[in-house]
Amino acid sequence: MNKKQLTDAEQQELLLRMKKNYTYDAKSGRLTSSRLGRAVRGKKRDKNGYLCVLCRLGKRQVFVRLHHAVWAVCKGRFPERQIDHVNGDKRDNRIENLREVTSSENHLNVLLAWNPNAKTGVPGVSPHGCQYQTKIHGKMYHFSDPYEAFYHATMCGKRYKEH
């Protein structure tokens, strides 16, 4: 849902409908449809790969990201900022895995793909002359050992997901 597309009154109406139509199961982290009695899985993915739920607002159809819907049902309001999945799994919508953060805070929790450099065999580390370099928060750092560079990058917050 793009909050700019809805007025405050429409957001409040949508929130009331969602609280009426959905219940949240804390154990599984799933929304359940009160009308159908089954888990809401999300119908389509947005451009970032997040599952969305179709909600009706009068004659309009509004797609709401599933984790935003969980947040709204649990907290009683739509998020003002971005919602971050703490463990990096977009499918894990347990409320304890969701937190409201700024864009820069959300970017710090990015899980990078485990793609080792062809020459060093270490992800995020490339050769630079007779040293090895890694880029952390836009700045290049140089080390004598590729594993030292990788260790430094992970200590500064770079996280990699298993393949």
**Tens digits of residue pLDDT in 19-50:** 888 888 877 778 877 777 777 777 677 777 77
Q: Is the pLDDT confidence value at 163 over 60?
A: no
Helix (H) or strand (E) holding 9: helix 8-21
Stated pTM of the model: 0.65
Q: Cα(157)–Cα(111) distance, rounded to whole angstroms?
A: 10
pLDDT-above-90 percentage for the chain: 2
Q: Give me the pLDDT at residue 20, please.
A: 84
| Range with the largest mean pLDDT of 28-42, 44-58, 127-141 | 127-141
First CA to last CA across the chain, in angstroms? 31
Q: Give me the pLDDT at residue 64, please.
A: 84
- Mean pLDDT for 135-163 is 80
Q: Cα(50)–Cα(93) distance, rounded to whole angstroms?
A: 11
Q: Cα(11)–Cα(5) distance, rounded to whole angstroms?
A: 10
Burial label for 14, CB within 10 Å (0-12, 13-18, 19+), is buried
Q: Give me the pLDDT at residue 111, please.
A: 61
Higher pLDDT, 42 or 103: 103
Do residues 62 and 6 lie in contact, with contact meaning Cβ atoms separated by under 8 Å?
Answer: yes
**Tens digits of residue pLDDT in 73-90:** 888 888 888 888 877 777
Q: Give me the pLDDT at residue 153, please.
A: 81
Question: Rounded to whole angstroms, what are the CA distances from 146 to 36, 115, 125, 135, 155?
Answer: 55, 14, 6, 13, 14
Mean pLDDT of the chain: 80
